[in-house]
Amino acid sequence: MFGLLRSLFRLLLVFTLVFWLFRWLGRMLSRTSSPPKLARAGSLEGQTWQGRVTRVIDGDTVWAEFGNGPLRLRFAHIDAPEHGQPFGEEAAAWLEEAIGADRAITVHPYELDFYGRVVAEVYHGDSRLNYWIVRHGLAWALPGDGDRNIAQAQIEAQAAQEFIWSERYPNPPWIYRMANQQTEG
C-alpha cells in the first residue's frame, strides 16, 4: 500500500513539473513575436517594405505594422543606450519625434537577429534614421561594422559633444548589458 502511494506521488510530481515547464515555455514564446512569413523566407537583402511604426521600444528598436502583420525592427549598424542608462530615454524620445505623426517608414531589411528582430535600415521620408540618431549623439556606431557614413556621424557627434558624448566616459550599451547580466545572474 505504501509503495503504491509513493508511486502515485511520484507520478503526480512528474505531471506537475511537466505542466509548469510547458506553461513557462508558452510564456517565453509569447514574449517574442515570431515574424510573419514575409521575414522568414530566405535572405531579406534587396527588399523594400513600407509600414507604420506602432511603438518605439528604445532608440534602436521599434514595432512596425506591415501588410503581413507586425514586426519588431532593430536598426542596423547602431546601438542606442538602454532604458535606465544615461540618455536612453532621450534616444527613444528623439526617435519618436523623428518618426513624426504619420509614423510612416520605409525599411531595407538585412536579416533576422538572434531575438527574431528584423535588422534593417529605417527611413522616414528621405531621412535615414540609423544615421541621424548617431549624428545627434544618441547612439553608438557599432565598432567594426563597416558603415563609414555612420562611423563619420559618430565622429561628428563626438566633436560636437552632443548627448552621450557630453559625458567624459560614456558607457556603451553592450558593456552596460554585460554588466547587468552579471549582477542579475
All residues at 6 or more sequence positions from 20 whose CB lies less than 8 Å from its CB, including other chains: none
Residue 31: active-site member: no
Single out the catalytic residue among 74, 121, 128, 135.
74
DSSP string covering 61-112:
EEEEEETTEEEEEEETTEEPPPTTSTTHHHHHHHHHHHHTTT-EEEEEEEEE
Single out the catalytic residue among 55, 96, 103, 117.
117
Residue 82: active-site member: yes
- Are 76 and 131 contacting, i.e. CB atoms less than 8 angstroms apart? no
Query: Which amino acid type is present at position 158?
Result: Q
Catalytic residues: 74, 82, 117
